[in-house]
A = this chain, B = another copy of it.
Amino acid sequence: MDLIVQKYGGTSVRDAERVMNVASRVVEAYDAGNNVVVVVSAQGDTTDDLIEKAKEINPNASKREMDVLLSTGEQISISLLAMAIEKIGRPVISLTGWQAGFKTEATYGNARIDRISVDRLEKELDKRRIVIVAGFQGLNKYDDITTLGRGGSDTSAVALAAALHADVCEIYTDVDGVYTADPRFVKTARKLDDVSYDEMLELASLGANVLHNRSVEMAKKYNVKLAVKSSLEKVEGTFVKEVSQVEKMLVRGVTRDNDVARISLCDVDDNPGKAFQVFSMLAKHKISVDLIIQSIGKESKKDISFTVTEEALPEALELLEKDKDTLGAREIKWTKDVSKVSIVGAGMVNNAGVAAKMFEALYDAHINISMIATSEIKISVLVDRKDAEKAVVAIHDKFLA
């Protein structure tokens, strides 16, 4: 008997019909003799609707209360899915994050999972019940509800799969796998049969929108075998696992990330500790900084530019504005009209020509590059948002078409 963890996103359970569809998928796996744990997200736009409700009352509501509010979205989903499975006539029980034993760090809004106390879960599985678990949420040491941040349901699913030593963690989504580029605007995009954790990590964090990066990190750490599948069509998806690649493809995918904003600190004092000061201050507030450029300004001054997520932008600006004088910055500029376009592939590390070929593709398409960053398995550039899709198509055609 295998133990399967399945995760269904918000679009997969957005209405009664979709919930029934998911229920029959779940029952199919159960009837095949497996133990099944299902993690679900909030239905469709529920989370956004709840955020809207909160904003109407208090745009600066505390993260603690936002977590109390937002966690209801998943709680609604688990009960509805359990009811759908009851209708089909299989034993089932829903568990909230705290009932399922998710213990998180104290932080609200973006908590990390500390551990999962699986006692209750295992007791329910021993009774051969299908267990439906609310993703995205847990309980901290104050007995307060916390949420794991956007995409946290993926992390919930992988953490559960690790804690329960599941045979596979199936992530159901509205696409049927991981593609070489977004098939919505790249006609020649192809589906990948499997990718390594590291590749998926870059694809996820760079905006492939299939898996949350924290979930892939966790899957890698605990060696959880992932399967990315369509919740609508019955086709083979993409496996994410530690594979020795037979066919070493140089470039595996091209991604675009619009959830990015650029901040520039102009004329900062050119002391060695300055950049450290900025980024450690932001890190203390859990704001992740991505691409970074320092450029020399005039007279022992320099400009520091970096990118953050759009969500983090207001808080980052507020923090920087407060520290402006200490930083010695003359001006703080920012824009959201940028996108990050990246190529990913474990094979590219030993090939110097890849970057040059990428820049050539962008040059030929008359697209300006404002920032560049490279790692062992990716090369990212920041371009104007209006050029982003064109950039992806140009690069994909060059490497993968």
Contact = CB atoms under 8 A, between A and B. Distances in A.
Contacts of A86: 58, 60-62, 65
Contacts of A71: 75
Given A86-B65, A143-B120, A76 B57 contact: no
Given A86-B62, A99-B143, A54 B68 contact: no
Contacts of A341: none
Interface stretch (A77-85, A195-203, A260-268, A324-332): A77-85
A53 B68 contact: no
A78 B61 CA distance: 13
A69 interface: yes
A94 interface: yes
Nearest to A120: B143
Nearest to A19: B57
A72 B83 contact: no
Interface string A46-70: 0000100110111011101110110
A61 B65 CA distance: 30
Contacts of A75: 68-69, 71-72, 75
A16 interface: yes
Contact of A82 (B60, B68, B76, B78): B68
Given A16-B53, A57-B19, A76 B83 contact: no
Contacts of A110: none
Given A20-B57, A69-B83, 10 more contacts: A16-B53, A16-B56, A19-B57, A54-B83, A57-B87, A65-B82, A65-B94, A66-B83, A71-B75, A72-B75
23 contacts: A19-B57, A53-B76, A57-B83, A57-B84, A58-B84, A60-B86, A60-B87, A61-B83, A62-B83, A65-B79, A65-B83, A65-B86, A65-B94, A68-B75, A68-B82, A69-B75, A69-B79, A69-B80, A72-B76, A75-B75, A96-B145, A99-B143, A120-B143
